[in-house]
Amino acid sequence: MDQKFQDFEKTIKRKHSVAFTPKYHEGFTAKIKPRIFVEIAVKTFEALDWEVVYQDKNQVEAKRENDFGKWTHKITAKMNYTGKAEVESKSLEGIWDQGKNSKWVKLFIYAFNETLKSFDTEKLAALETEVERKDNLDDYVIPESLPAPKNFSRPQLLIPILGTGLVATAIAYLVALLSLEGLYVIGLYEVGIGVILGFVLKIFMKLGNYTNWKTIKLVLLGAVILIFVLNQYFQYQLIMTRNHYEPIGFIAFLRIRLEHGLTIKDLNVGTIGLLISWIFQIGVTCLVGYLRTLIAIMKISVNRVPTEVIDFAIYHFIKSKSELKVKSELSKMGWKSELEHQMVFDALAGLQGGQQMRREG
């Protein structure tokens, strides 16, 4: 960060905010077009060492990290067509912002105006031309050829279903063993299982070349439920075998467990406590697995298509060509089949999804 920005930062009077998500916003006027505002704002964020995570034609978002590399604030700068600009800073953690949101907003506005001062009329006109060319990809050179498509296999849902099912069964047995040995740690195991399921699904999605998110979500949910049910069943079998009890049915075993409830140290929280713990286990595992699997799908979708092909498709979409026309252009370059077209469109969706996660994460 420039010294003059550091000096100004020290003079800012903070306005503290307490809320579930503390935030602060402030408006100002700038006599430039919204798209040029965005470009100047990007340069401002770069000068302040804040990472830009999203931009469109009238707004830009950045995140500020602390000394440990963790994002702490999200700053959004936007302008409408009346020339009214708004800047908002939102805390990403905590309920008291210690006045930092107001500090970042005021610092941005100062830095923005200082950056804008470096552009006279001639430089602004040049910047506008440059931005227009960049938005329209006018400098993009259409290649004579594209890398040949890989030999994509037909998507096979059965591979992630069977593979994940087998791993889920093994996890359920291991958790049952550890639970009976008193080594189960609620919360820790659920997070670990969610991470493992995301990793396993990534492997089997690659092997099956299957990345349909709507279906994979159901596979993940099925795996989580399978782990939970089989964990209870394996515990039942192990208890019956180790203690030589007279055989009772699995349903009767579950009924007895519910009647006895959940005991935490010396405190029995009853049936309701046990049910809440089960819901917590399933919920946390699903949430962690959901995020890990979603990230895996986006990475697989992007990595299996060469960058040159993705850029080629983006160029034609930027030029307002329909999906059918883009398919036609891809076919001329050797990407002819419907499966190959779908791989390209999945890659574009993966890029968009990754950008959205960076905004929200």
Per-residue pLDDT of the chain (361 residues; tens, 9 = 90+): 788 888 899 999 999 999 999 999 999 988 899 999 999 999 999 999 999 999 988 999 999 988 788 889 999 999 988 889 999 999 998 899 999 999 999 999 999 999 999 998 899 999 999 999 999 998 999 999 999 998 888 999 999 999 999 999 999 999 999 988 877 777 888 999 999 999 999 999 999 999 999 999 999 999 999 999 999 999 999 888 887 777 788 898 888 888 887 776 667 778 888 898 889 999 999 999 999 999 999 999 999 999 999 999 999 999 999 999 999 999 999 999 999 999 999 999 999 998 888 887 6
Provide the total of helices (H) and of strands (E) in the chain, helices listed first: 12, 7
Determine, yes or no, domain membership for 75. yes
Phi and psi at residue 191, to the nearest 5°: -65, -45
What per-residue confidence (pLDDT) applies to 240? 86
Determine, yes or no, domain membership for 68. yes
Query: Which tokens belong to 91?
Result: 């805390």
Determine, yes or no, domain membership for 284. yes
Do 198 and 287 lie in one domain? The reply is yes
Count of domains observed in the chain: 3
What per-residue confidence (pLDDT) applies to 361? 65
What per-residue confidence (pLDDT) applies to 360? 79
CATH number, domain containing residue 56: 3.30.310.80
Last residue of a domain, one of 103, 120, 135: 135
Task: Please tell me what DSSP assigns to residue 82.
Answer: T
What per-residue confidence (pLDDT) applies to 66? 84
CA angle 305-307-312, nearest 5°? 100
Find all residues with CB under 8 Å of 13, minimum gap 6, and list them: none
Distance CA 103, CA 110 (A): 11
Distance CA 176, CA 168 (A): 12
> In terms of residue numbers, what domain contains 30?
3-135
Do 164 and 294 lie in one domain? The reply is yes
Cβ atoms of 23 and 17 within 8 Å: the answer is yes
Do 77 and 185 lie in one domain? The reply is no
What per-residue confidence (pLDDT) applies to 38? 95
What per-residue confidence (pLDDT) applies to 356? 85
The SS3 call for residue 338 is: helix
Phi and psi at residue 65, to the nearest 5°: -110, 155
Do 125 and 242 lie in one domain? The reply is no
The SS3 call for residue 89 is: strand
Cα dist from 146 to 56, 311, 317, 335, 349, whole Å: 28, 10, 17, 9, 20
Determine, yes or no, domain membership for 298. yes
What per-residue confidence (pLDDT) applies to 265? 67
Determine, yes or no, domain membership for 140. no
Bridge partners (DSSP) of residue 71 are 65
What per-residue confidence (pLDDT) applies to 112? 95
Amino acid of residue 87? V
Do 296 and 318 lie in one domain? The reply is no
Distance CA 226, CA 58 (A): 47
